[in-house]
Chains A and B, each alone.
Chain A
Amino acid sequence: MTAAFDILLCVMILGTAGAALFLRDPLAAIVFLIVLGNLLGLAWLTLDAVNVALAEIAIGAGVTGVLLILARARLVALGDNVVCEPMPLWARLGAIALCAGFTAVLSCVVLSITPDSGLTARIEALMPRIGIENPVTGVLLAFRAYDTLLETFVLLGALVAVWSLGPDTAWPHPPAALRIFDPGLRSVAGAFGRVLLPMALVMAAYLVWAGSDLPGGAFQAGTVFAGGLLLAAIGGAIGLPRADSPALRLVLVLGPLVFLMIGLAGAVLGRFLLFPDGTAKMLIVTIEYALAASIAVTLALLVAGSPATPDKQD
């Protein structure tokens, strides 16, 4: 029974991916990508990876979907209808043959590796030392904290890169407003955003707290709150900040900064990112709350895009 479900799920994943790639209508393709993200979330649940399922659905389906829909709408407004230029038949057939060959080789490689639980037992043995029970949070914030620290800087760097793509006249104005123009729709979206924003905040705070022992964590929580911020911005309940606002910049660097400071304090005690025995859980939760706040604001602003020249707004 489980096998039948798994096979059906994989067939649906592949079919949805095909639709997301090869449907002619770009909006329909993006919607299929969102469906694909949700199906992948189900696949991760089947694989007992609830942490990844949460991240995949919130980020892979949610944030990426909103981002692409917004990019398409802005391209259409600029007169680009996102129509693919035709490609000669021989080139298309060549590409299909090439990718089929590549997929065959990749499948053989995948089949030659026996799936196994890898480091599960070793990580389980180390978990009591850091006082939390979610092994994925343990890997992210203790055993491989270095990777996660660098990742937060990647996210910050991406936002700086997106900001730097705005035209010269736009700096440091806010990105083009996300607000819905139709007044009726906007009042509905605004009311929804006002109700949802505090709920998203509570849910995000819970996800970080629960993330120590149960599935959850800073990235999932940050994304949930980013979703709340975006919906509130779409409904006009909140405006988008200017890029030179000191409060905004403080929130953006808070997570990476707290992480780096705690890491450096560890360096003074012996090793970079060392958590002294007994304090690990407290330090991890502190880092996670700071990270969740920074991730939420960074993701929301990544979706909103580059600064826009003020006369182009509203």
Chain B
Amino acid sequence: MDLPVLDHLFALTGALLVGLGLCGFIVLRHPLRQLLAVNVVGAGIFLILGGLGRGGSGTDPFPQALVITGIVVAVALTAFGAAMILRVAAEPAPENRQAGEDAGETR
């Protein structure tokens, strides 16, 4: 069981996750689902970083620290994205808003 591909197993899985996530991001036509797809892309990138840092003498702590930083920034981005999606959904559509403002002025 000494296939060369096995060394790259997790990094390759990461590359496939990036591809899957990207495909989901293009095909899914709802912002919340696209936000989920961005998270999958992020997870793939982290796995590439971690998988390529694993050599004979252990896993490189430097990409590990980068990945922890990345995970925290990804959750901050997700929270901001979700808040933006909710704000857009709560806002009436532009044509309705115009009508609403006119009604407000005449009241």
Contact surface of A with B, Cβ cutoff 8 Å: 3, 6-7, 10, 13-14, 17-18, 20-22, 26, 29-30, 33, 36-37, 40, 43-44, 46-49, 51-52, 55-56, 59-60, 63-64, 67-68, 70-72, 74-75, 78, 80, 82-87, 92, 95-96, 98-100, 102-103, 106-107, 109-111, 113-121, 123, 135-136, 138-140, 144, 147-148, 151, 154-155, 158, 161-162, 165-167, 217, 219, 295, 299, 302-303, 305-306
Contact = CB atoms under 8 A, between A and B. Distances in A.
Interface of B: 1, 5-24, 26-30, 32-33, 35-37, 39-40, 43, 46-48, 50-69, 71-80, 82-87, 89-90
Contact of B61 (A22, A55, A135, A148): A135
A140 B69 contact: yes
23 contacts: A21-B28, A33-B40, A43-B13, A46-B10, A47-B51, A47-B54, A52-B50, A63-B75, A67-B79, A68-B35, A95-B26, A98-B26, A99-B26, A106-B18, A107-B12, A110-B11, A115-B11, A116-B56, A117-B58, A117-B60, A120-B58, A120-B60, A151-B69
Contacts of A154: 73, 76
Contacts, number: 269
Contact of B65 (A13, A48, A144): A144
A147 B53 contact: no
Identify which of B13, B35, B50, B72 gathers the most chain A CB atoms within 10 Å of its CB.
B72
The dominant DSSP class at the A interface is helix
Nearest to B17: A17
Identify which of A44, A47, A95, A110 gathers the most chain B CB atoms within 10 Å of its CB.
A110
A67 B82 contact: yes
Contacts of B43: 17, 36-37, 40, 60
Given A40-B47, A103-B16, 5 more contacts: A75-B89, A99-B23, A102-B19, A110-B51, A167-B87
Contacts of A103: 15-16, 18-20
B23 A120 contact: no
A47 B60 CA distance: 10
A29 B53 contact: no
